[in-house]
Amino acid sequence: RKEVEQDPGPFNVPEGATVAFNCTYSNSASQSFFWYRQDCRKEPKLLMSVYSSGNEDGRFTAQLNRASQYISLLIRDSKLSDSATYLCVVNPGAAGNKLTFGGGTRVLVKP
């Protein structure tokens, strides 16, 4: 089983709609979680951290479910510019700053 798993998609989303997707992780001791965004042929960029109580950043909402070992990302009122690959990132915590990236979920927002 991979340490961090994501549905590769693509998720085809009409502009203005809401889309949500999950990421599962295998290490129950994992301590911190993040969502990164990667545009085609570009470098990954931090989108947001994921806090235990859930958190929002504008149209983006991240949730953590420790019992079921998954995190989620919800995008409201999707924009064309939200089209990208969203990478789930987990820090096991026991080994310093060593991050594990999921394979990414591709989102395509269409007019």
* Residue 68 CA from chain centroid, whole number: 16
33 in helix, strand or coil? strand
- Which tokens belong to 40? 């085609």
Using the minimum distance from each CB to another protein, give the nearer residue, 75 or 90: 90
Please report whether residue 9 would count as binding another protein according to CB under 8 A. no
**Binding test (CB under 8 A) with another protein, winner from 12, 17, 20, 49:** 49
Q: Which stretch binds another protein (CB under 8 A): 14-22, 54-62, 69-77, 97-105?
A: 97-105
Task: Measure the CA–CA gap between 25 and 40, rounded to whole angstroms.
Answer: 25
CB under 8 Å to 4, separation ≥6 — which residues? 23, 24, 25, 26, 88, 89, 90, 100, 101, 102, 103
CB of residue 42 vs another protein: minimum separation in angstroms?
7
Please report whether residue 101 would count as binding another protein according to CB under 8 A. yes
**Binding test (CB under 8 A) with another protein, winner from 14, 45, 66, 77:** 45
Task: Measure the CA–CA gap between 49 and 10, rounded to whole angstroms.
Answer: 23
**Binding test (CB under 8 A) with another protein, winner from 34, 75, 83, 106:** 34
Task: Measure the CA–CA gap between 16 and 20, rounded to whole angstroms.
Answer: 13
**Binding test (CB under 8 A) with another protein, winner from 27, 55, 76, 99:** 99
Interface with another protein (CB under 8 A): 32-34, 42-46, 49, 87, 89, 91, 95-104
